[in-house]
Amino acid sequence: MNINNKIKRNIILVILIIPLLISIIFTVIGVNRPIQTDEDNQITFMTYNIHFGMGMDDKLNLERLAQNMLLGDPDIIGLQEVENGRFTSQGVDMALWLATRLEMYYRYYPAVNDAAFGVALLSRYPIIETNTYDLMSIQLERVLLHCKLQINSSFNLDVFTTHLGLNNENQTQQVQEILEITDLVSGPKILMGDFNMNNTDPNINITLYSRFNDTWWEINRPSDEGSFPSYPGAVSGNRIDYIFATNYSTIIDSKIISDMIPSVNAPWEYGSDHLPVVSTLRF
Amino acid sequence: MANGHNDKFLDSFLDLNIKRGSTLFFLSFLLTLFFIEAMRSYIPGIYIQMFHVVFTDEGWTLSLLSLMTMGLFALPLFSKILSDKFGKKEIMYISMVVVSIGRLLISFGLPAIIDTTLSSLIIGFYGIFMACFLGFIIENQFNESIKSKVVGIGFFSFAFISAILIDFTIRTIGFTADFTLINWPIEPWYNYQYLWTMFQIILSAACIILPILIWKDISPSGDLEEKKEIKKSGKNFIALIVGLGLGVFFFLGFNILFYPNAISQFTGSNYFIINIIIIVVITLSCYIFLEIKEKHIGLELLMILNVFLIISLVIFLFIGNLFGNIAMLLVSISFAPLLLDIYILLKLASTKGKRNNKVRMYSNAFSIALGIFLLFSFLYDFTTDWSFIIRAFRGLGIPILLVSSVLLFLSVIITLYLLKNKEAQK
């Protein structure tokens, strides 16, 4: 082999290693988790049905979802319709992606086929305990995710996130199951998610209200602002996403984030067909 | 002089004219990369359009039209007719332009329906490009001293494997739907999606301009007289076997294996580690492919590698969650024989058919491959995520994957048997 070919050969073999090095560098960059403790016990919660990462323009865009979430500056996020590794969602682990992007800890629990329609909890606080529950479901499976978070050295918080079914009989049963589970936990609790019912439904305004406070309603009543669909605009009275709470001190604020990009009113600004609901509480 | 069997592939490639060789490699690598990206986005796009049609909301008629883009997958079948009418060189160039411009348009963030349609155009025209390109390279119409078809097939196979490697790397960096591990300081944030557009403009322009640099080096169309077939030589069977092998390769790759998250989900392993291990294996596969001599790729060795492949897939599919890390390692290592199978299948297709008929062989095989990919992908989807529509399909997802793995194994075994027979006849 002549010298020229030897040099070319070595160059090619060196070039081949570059993709691997780049991949390792970018992998190492992303695997850091800051730990945040909060001494004043003021925490911002968000619930967001992310519709498999698909926005109102039918495009998967996790950065857009992250930007939508950052508008609320949440500390703890409950997500619904989260997917992991499904080829129909381009094989992304959405909970892992969003947690890395937002620099949070996370837990994920799938509802269907180990990869689809799941719920996730993202948290700036360490997650010290996790329990998962399959709820009685017709058609699509529904689940409940329970995480215990270490807010600081003297305060742990139990957070539940769920996504209820569409069938009315099923919803009643699922609410009962959820309350049986949450009743096992004493102390401050948060229950949030997509309940697929507005608050005129007895499952909400009688059953759930008997145990929890609807944080958005406490601040904003009698407004009938909706959380679904996101575009062309939330239908009044169609508030189906909730943040319920017990044993807290005060509700500082609660809102539905409906304007993702000021001066733009187009489908592409919405990362999902739902709007995120945000509540800030002090414990 | 590159004679294939007795030289390492890398040495054979280095014997090519540097301008022509590097241009050909760059073009086949880039166009394959665009094809891979289109395959990754097509089924998700179709899935969303089907969602609108099945649950019948506004605009479902447009969604229904986009489903018909699957018909574009039959485009490669017309490669021979088009190349006879307009010239093989011209058709190959047109297909390169369509693929490049299609990919460029996708990077501009157009509506989802247009993206899906463009993806299907890319896939269909890539089939035409591949058939013509392989036809040229095997028939030595790039004016190279390639004395062996083997070097030509090896050249294209290496470009294909390199494209898979770079696709994994791009996804790790985050320029598609996978990981973005850094926050790009772009304001406003919604312009972030156009970051890749700048690169894509350059890449697409290269694919359109570079062929012109070597245009005169490509033998004019119609240079080779088509000789009358003396007897039927089983070309259809070969196209079927090659198409079957490629089709299930596409199905397994673009549904499970090319997604580290899917492997992670099956095995309960860590995504980051799986992703890096797969990239290591593909890189090593590239090195090994370049450094081995073709004559050392013995049929016995290939048989052993493919037995390892099928065993790894079975362990991964059925007991992956019990032996998580072991299954993860096995399936990652099985990328090596999987990628080598591309070369073997393409090589088989080069052994049959008269001169100037390779285009038809590859175009038929590719169309069959796309048909099988679509069939198995929809079957898999209806047995998993959409199994609530047809209850009887519930739980059949893993058997579908197993059947496809067995079909891949069988097609490769038959290929090896036919190649062995061919060598024995020489």
Rounded Cα gap, residues A272 and A144, in angstroms: 21
pLDDT recorded at residue A103: 86
Collapsing DSSP to helix, strand or coil, B390 comes out as coil
Give the Cβ contact number of residue A263 at 10 Å: 5
**Nearest Cα to Cα of residue A48 among A215, A273, A236:** A273
Rounded Cα gap, residues B369 and B299, in angstroms: 24
Instruction: Search chain B and give the residue with CA nearest A10.
Output: B10
CB–CB of B271 and A31 under 8 A? no
Q: Closest CB to A26: pick one of B172, B258, B262.
A: B172
Q: What is the DSSP string of A217-278?
A: HHHHTT-----S--SS-PPTT---EEEEEES-SEEEEEEE---SSTT--SGGG-SSSS--EE
What number of helices (H) and strands (E) belong to chain A?
6, 12
CB–CB of A23 and B271 under 8 A? no
Mean pLDDT in residue range B221-225: 46
Instruction: Search chain A and give the residue with CA nearest B16.
Output: A5
Q: What is the pLDDT along chain A (283 residues), one digit of tens a residue?
A: 566 778 888 888 888 999 999 988 888 876 665 666 666 789 999 999 999 888 888 888 888 899 999 999 999 999 999 988 777 777 888 898 898 888 899 999 988 766 778 999 999 999 999 999 999 887 778 999 999 999 988 899 999 999 998 888 789 999 999 999 999 999 999 999 999 999 899 999 889 999 999 999 999 988 888 999 888 877 777 899 999 999 999 999 999 999 888 888 888 888 899 999 999 999 9
> pLDDT per residue over B276-315, tens digit each?
999 999 999 998 888 887 777 777 888 888 899 989 988 8
Instruction: Search chain A and give the residue with CA nearest B251.
Output: A87
Rounded Cα gap, residues A220 and A222, in angstroms: 6
CB–CB of A63 and B275 under 8 A? no
pTM, rounded to two decimals: 0.90
Instruction: Search chain A and give the residue with CA nearest B165.
Output: A19
Helix, strand, coil percent content, chain A, rounded in steps of 5: 30, 30, 40
Q: Do B424 and B299 contact (CB within 8 A), yes or no?
A: no
Between B39 and A36, the more confident residue is: B39
CA distance A249 to chain B (A): 36
Q: Closest CB to B112: pick one of A59, A63, A114.
A: A59
CA angle B317/B395/B384 to nearest 5° reads 85
CB–CB of A26 and B279 under 8 A? no
Q: Closest CB to B189: pick one of A67, A92, A97.
A: A67
Cis link prior to A74 (omega < 30° from 0)?
A: no
Q: Closest CB to A60: pick one of B44, B280, B377.
A: B44
- Give me the percent of chain B exceeding a pLDDT of 70: 84
Q: Do A261 and A230 contact (CB within 8 A), yes or no?
A: no
CB–CB of A88 and B381 under 8 A? yes
Q: Closest CB to B189: pick one of A20, A63, A92.
A: A63
Instruction: Search chain B and give the residue with CA nearest A17.
Output: B283
Q: Which residues of A touch B166 (CB under 8 A)?
A: 19
